[in-house]
Chain A
Amino acid sequence: MFAYHVRLALLSLKKNPALTALIIGAFALGIGVCMTTLTVYYQMSNNPIVHKNDVLYAVALDSWDPVEPYDDDQPEQAPWELTWRDMMALRQSDIPTHHAAMFKGSFVVEPESDDVLPFEETVRMTDGGFFSLFDIPFQYGAPWDTTADENGEYVVVLSREMNEKLFGGQNSVGRTLLLDKLSFTVTGVIDNWNPAPKYYDVNNGAFDNAEQMFMPLTVAFPLERFSDGNTNCWKDEDINDYQAFLNSECVWFQYWAQLDAPEQKARYQDFLDAYVMEQKQLGRFERPLNNRLTPVDEWLQVRQVVADDSKVLLGVSFMFLAVCLFNTVGLLLAKFIGKSGEIGLRRALGASRTAVFGQQLVEVGVIGVAGGLLGLGLAVLGLRAVRKIYIGLDQLVDLTSIDVSMVLAALGISIAASVLAGLYPAWRVCRVSPASYLKTQ
């Protein structure tokens, strides 16, 4: 019967092409707008390392001002970052499977080739554990070893793109390049890796591209490097030199740890608590004990990676879809009432109200599929327009890409919306009294 109803639906849609086009167009417009915002929202809400969500934790210690919390809107949260002293202390722990401290720095790159002019490049200053922690694939070579971390060796890992730019995409492991006139040796080239959102450091733009250069964190301190990202301080301290800055209560290091088992996590939590209790004895950490290990998905929520205006936009787009549906109800009603004669005849020949109702719902379902497919086309155009507006932000390619789940979602929403819009017209028309239309057929 379903196939029969689909066939009747196609015949019916062909019968009034203008009205059909209007109805499908209204659906498509609503779906197109909805899917554009929904795709961006969905991709923004994405957890790029979901397979490690239960073992990967952002580490936070509440070393903040005893008078007021770090974030007034979320007073239960600790500062998002760590002080240098705390970061250095946490690096000594051997409890996590992998762990890494990090901040965003920058260096001037002087390429070997005369064809490429010197340029300033953002660099992720981190520990060698960074690459295992976040499952970063390597095209050539490997991360630097722990000795490099301990000694602050001048080694660097490049992105595939940066390797292409500096070394023409060849295996550059062992090659050197000048960064701020210092010679760094390439230990590895990572393969394509650009998580969206950039969960490991959502400061200064959660949807910025991942850095294209990585070097040991310990390189930074002898060179007296400051963060190019966020540095937040609460205490009135005399900071006269770099060492005083390092020893200050300013927070500027992101810290992540991989804790594979619950007991490992519990041990690490105990370690953090013991460390903070010890620091309290020294007059630090005056706030209540609040050491937090936050998994990635929760971290993305706490850090409000998906901005409120994105949610509002999503709501507005669904309201737009509702308006389209509301208009479609009228069009469907007109279409179905126009078929009253045929429906009266079918009723006379034995079709039950349920059968007639089902026939109309299948027809709106077919409209929904057509509207959904056309809407997807409009969404693709809409997403291209978004990319044009934010040109240069590579991550937008991911944020504005429609995957299979979004195609299915579009069709699902479209069919559900069309059936919803068709319920009243179908109900109205299935109550047609057969006798009243037979003479006028």
Chain B
Amino acid sequence: MLNMTHVSRVYRTDTVETHALRDFSLYVDEGEFVAVTGPSGSGKTTFLNIAGLLEDLTSGTYELDGRDVSGLSDNERSKIRNEKIGFIFQTFNLIPDLNVFDNVDVPLRYRNMSASERRKRITEALEIVGLTSRMTHLPAQLSGGQQQRVAIARALAGSPRFLLADEPTGNLDSEMASQVLDLLEDVNRTGTTIIMVTHEAGLATRARRNIHVLDGRIQPEEPEAQADGPPPLTAVQLAGA
């Protein structure tokens, strides 16, 4: 489904070249729940941005659903983001002036969907996250956990092929974080592929596969992580390897 091969991402200024990703190859199969861990600055977010078509890669190839998406136009990338990818952010990224319903509506607005279809999808998505009673609430009237659930509903409303979650529990207390992870697991069980970036090893163990990134490269599995983590933690699948 997602296949990155020898991807690199280099940020250049006049004097400095920063290699955020180096020779990064990864294959994620349909229905997987993959956790990407690593310390700050390791390249996790850069990977997620490239995976979500939010950033260009410098070299290598990136295939999504068998299609090379590395050279697509901005409009084509927007369309793929809109139709195939759902995003969940650490800071929720809800629009404060819009109520819950309208926040979930945002990606659907760019799909030329009828009002009734949009309403149906929004209601269903909010049912999944248990927030149908809060449709008219503004984000500021919700707790952090509820806001993240709205963000998940927004990501789910478009029926994406996969979810990209960037530290989805980073701003939540442990109880709420657990609820959000439960929700992500539920979503994954319905067949939606999830790639979750986190720097918390504990959370990563909830995923079915754990990838550790350091200095822009995927690291071999750590034995202790294997020991601590519950099965089925699988080996990193390097594309083409």
* A interface, CB within 8 angstroms of B: 1, 4, 11-12, 14-15, 341-342, 345-355, 433-435, 438-439, 441
Contact = CB atoms under 8 A, between A and B. Distances in A.
A399 B93 CA distance: 55
B98 interface: yes
B155 to A, nearest CB: 9
A353 B45 CA distance: 23
B52 interface: yes
B196 to A, nearest CB: 16
Interface in B35-77: 45, 49, 52, 54-55, 74-75
11 contacts: A341-B93, A345-B93, A348-B87, A349-B82, A350-B79, A353-B78, A355-B110, A433-B54, A435-B54, A438-B89, A439-B90
B109 A342 contact: no
B93 A438 contact: yes
Contacts of B75: 352-354
B81 interface: yes
Instruction: Pick the most buried of A11, A347, A438: most chain B CB atoms within 10 A of its CB.
Output: A438
Contacts of A434: 54
Given A341-B93, A352-B74, A439-B89, 14 more contacts: A4-B109, A12-B97, A15-B97, A346-B106, A350-B81, A350-B82, A350-B110, A350-B111, A351-B110, A353-B78, A354-B75, A433-B55, A435-B54, A438-B87
A440 to B, nearest CB: 8
A357 to B, nearest CB: 12
A153 B78 CA distance: 87
A352 B87 contact: no
A345 B52 CA distance: 12
Contacts of B78: 347, 350-353
Nearest to B93: A441
A348 B110 contact: no
B231 to A, nearest CB: 34
Interface of B: 45, 49, 52, 54-55, 74-75, 78-79, 81-83, 87, 89-91, 93, 95, 97-98, 106-107, 109-111, 154, 158, 166
Helix, strand, loop or mixed for chain A's interface?
helix
Given A15-B97, A353-B74, A353-B75, A348 B54 contact: yes
B109 A1 contact: yes
B75 to A, nearest CB: 5
Contacts of A14: 97
A133 to B, nearest CB: 62
Contacts of B54: 348, 433-435, 438
Given A441-B89, A441-B93, A352 B79 contact: yes
B166 to A, nearest CB: 8
A349 B89 contact: no
A390 B210 CA distance: 84
A350 B107 contact: yes
B137 to A, nearest CB: 16
Given A11-B97, A354-B75, A434-B54, A349 B106 contact: yes
B95 A345 contact: yes
A433 B11 CA distance: 14
A435 B53 CA distance: 9
A352 B158 CA distance: 16
Instruction: List the 8 shortest-distance A-B pairs measured between CB atoms, nearest first.
Output: A350-B82, A435-B54, A349-B107, A352-B78, A435-B49, A441-B93, A350-B110, A11-B97
A14 B78 CA distance: 28
A347 B85 CA distance: 12
Contacts of B109: 1, 4
A264 to B, nearest CB: 62
